[in-house]
Amino acid sequence: MPPHFVTSSKRPILSHPDRIVIATRQSRLALWQAEYVRDRLRGLYPRCRVELLALSTRGDEILDTSLAKIGGKGLFVKELELALAEGRADLAVHSAKDVPMELPVGFALGAILEREDPRDAFVSNKYDTLDALPVAALVGTSSLRREAQLRSRYPQLLVNSLRGNLDTRLAKLDRGDHDAIILAAAGLKRLGLGARIRSELTVEQSLPAAGQGALAIEYRAERGDIAGYLAALNHRATELAVRAERAVSRALGGSCQLPLAAYASVTGSTIELRGLVADPDGKTLVKAEVSGPSGAPEELGARLAAELRAQGADRILAALS
């Protein structure tokens, strides 16, 4: 098992917990995710008091600057990790795509829950698909990964940065700031907003981010009791896929500053893994795909990263460093 991952379906439950506190961000989607985990834990341990500790993070507070310029998605987890370190919370629930590739010493991921739809979603009040957008239509996105792929595949469109929580981004679309926006399908579906999706983008149109659509639960690695309680929540196939995807990003130094995508699917004992690295303007884009045994997801991720480097990812990385 690699560093930071201690999930195991065979880990014994040590005892029935009396109280578990879950640290979460305050956004509607983050609260939904934390409440979902809370309800799963209550179902497993009906005598346990499972409570939420809602916190504001720096990533939620700075909304006028792109994540790439203010430190990346790690800004969404630091305050939650502080609550874990201080003992104010026992675990933290994150969108797996927001979890930095290297966790601080003493922290680990205790469970990866079954994935929701990992694809990106096209949302518009006037058009059904990206292909239907007219020349110079304005598309908003919060992700350099999405932006680079849009610019590469649809150079006739205008693409700009779109910050804010999911409701804020939808509101900007509704008041006419954009012709369309690209969001994660999982978030929309979890909040009952699936009807806003005009079409899901194929992985060929927009390869997802590592971990997209999955929930990750973080805890202090010394808390073996918490690891035991979380074991039943872990979804093995999703865990293997996310580990492979994160290995690609880790090997390439992935962050919000790098338009990088990685997506794995697990079929039986095999993982199929795709990856992509691009420059922000989408003019240079390299792709690769590998497959291998599901029992070695990190090795597969490292192999895909090497394939991307062989195709020119190093030049892109050097230009962005």
Dist. CA 147–CA 178, nearest whole Å: 14
Please state the φ and ψ torsions of residue 109, each to the nearest 5 degrees.
-95, 125
Q: Would 240 be classed as within a structural domain?
A: no
Interval 265-306: pLDDT, tens: 999 999 999 999 999 899 999 999 999 999 999 999 999 999
Tell me which residue has tokens 């809602």.
54
Query: 124 and 271, same structural domain?
Result: no
- The answer on pLDDT for 72 being more than 70 is no
pLDDT bucket at 8, cuts 50 / 70 / 90: very low
Distances in Å between the alpha carbon of 208 and those of 19, 23, 40, 165, 200? Answer: 36, 26, 26, 19, 12
Mean pLDDT confidence for 29-50: 97
Query: 299 and 160, same structural domain?
Result: no
Mean pLDDT confidence for 101-112: 96
Query: 137 and 192, same structural domain?
Result: yes
Higher pLDDT, 79 or 60: 79
Contacts 24+ apart (CB under 8 A), 192-199: 193/166, 196/121, 196/123, 196/170, 197/121, 197/122, 197/123, 198/122, 198/123, 198/124, 198/127, 198/128, 198/129, 199/121, 199/122, 199/128, 199/129, 199/130
From the list 39, 60, 98, 131, the catalytic residue is 98
Query: 163 and 275, same structural domain?
Result: no
Q: Nearest Cα to 117, choosing from 233, 197, 230?
A: 197
pLDDT cut 90: percent of the chain above it: 82
pLDDT cut 70: percent of the chain above it: 88
- Tell me what pLDDT residue 71 has: 47
Query: Is-above-0.85 flag for pTM?
Result: yes
Higher pLDDT, 196 or 253: 196
Query: 306 and 225, same structural domain?
Result: no
| CATH number of the domain within which 105 lies | 3.40.190.10
Dist. CA 280–CA 257, nearest whole Å: 9
Higher pLDDT, 153 or 69: 153
Q: Would 140 be classed as within a structural domain?
A: yes
Interval 185-241: pLDDT, tens: 999 999 999 999 999 999 999 999 999 999 999 999 999 999 999 999 999 999 999
- Tell me what pLDDT residue 56 has: 83
Query: 177 and 316, same structural domain?
Result: no
Query: 302 and 165, same structural domain?
Result: no
- Show the domain range for 72: 19-115+214-234
Query: 86 and 41, same structural domain?
Result: yes
The two three-digit tokens of residue 113, written as one number: 């829950």
Please state the φ and ψ torsions of residue 320, each to the nearest 5 degrees.
-95, -10
- The answer on pLDDT for 24 being more than 60 is yes
pLDDT bucket at 58, cuts 50 / 70 / 90: low
- Tell me what pLDDT residue 67 has: 46
- The answer on pLDDT for 63 being more than 80 is no
> Is 98 a catalytic site residue?
yes
Furthest CA-CA distance within the chain: 61
Dist. CA 48–CA 52, nearest whole Å: 13
pLDDT bucket at 19, cuts 50 / 70 / 90: very high
Q: Would 222 be classed as within a structural domain?
A: yes
- Tell me what pLDDT residue 5 has: 60
Residues 183/121, Cβ–Cβ less than 8 Å: yes
| CATH number of the domain within which 313 lies | 3.30.160.40
Query: 111 and 51, same structural domain?
Result: yes
Q: Would 194 be classed as within a structural domain?
A: yes
- Tell me what pLDDT residue 16 has: 81
Domain count, the chain: 3
pLDDT bucket at 244, cuts 50 / 70 / 90: very high
Query: 111 and 218, same structural domain?
Result: yes
- The answer on pLDDT for 180 being more than 60 is yes
Distances in Å between the alpha carbon of 290 and those of 239, 242, 248, 293, 307? Answer: 18, 15, 11, 11, 9
The two three-digit tokens of residue 25, written as one number: 């961000």
**What sign does the dihedral 33-259-244-228 (CA atoms) show?**
negative
- Tell me what pLDDT residue 128 has: 98
Q: Which residues contact 69 (CB under 8 A, 6 or more apart)?
A: none
Tell me which residue has tokens 């932006």.
147
- C-alpha torsion angle, residues 304, 151, 63, 70 (rounded to 10): 50
Residues 173/244, Cβ–Cβ less than 8 Å: no
